[in-house]
A = this chain, B = another copy of it.
Amino acid sequence: MADAWLTTLQTATPQEGFELAIKLARMGVKYTQPAADARDRLRPAYADDVNALIASSQVIAINYQTVAAANDYWRKG
């Protein structure tokens, strides 16, 4: 994947940090399954699957730990 999609973990606000965590979770899927059409085929399946939704939220939570630490938890925001 030649494109630069991640140049910093710093964000202005906790919410932008959460959205970056979502991006990291999605990029983890994208690197594993690079074919966009395959990912698109799977999207309806997981969007209506409780376990997949909770699991997605979990990956976001793990990535958010990283992003939040990188921003010192926006303590001085």
A-side interface residues toward B, CB under 8 Å? 1, 4-10, 13-15, 18-19, 22, 24-29, 31-33, 35, 38-39, 41-42, 45-66, 68-70, 73-75, 77
- A53 B33 Cβ-Cβ under 8 A: yes
- A15 B25 Cβ-Cβ under 8 A: no
- B45 A50 Cβ-Cβ under 8 A: yes
A61 to B69, CA, bound (A): 14
Please pick, from B18, B41, B45, B68, the residue contacting A70 in the complex, using a CB distance under 8 A: B68
- B62 A69 Cβ-Cβ under 8 A: no
- B56 A28 Cβ-Cβ under 8 A: yes
Q: List 18 interface pairs A-B (beta carbons < 8 Å), by A numbering.
A: A6-B18, A8-B14, A8-B77, A9-B14, A18-B27, A28-B58, A28-B60, A29-B53, A32-B57, A41-B48, A54-B55, A54-B56, A57-B59, A58-B62, A61-B63, A65-B66, A66-B73, A68-B70
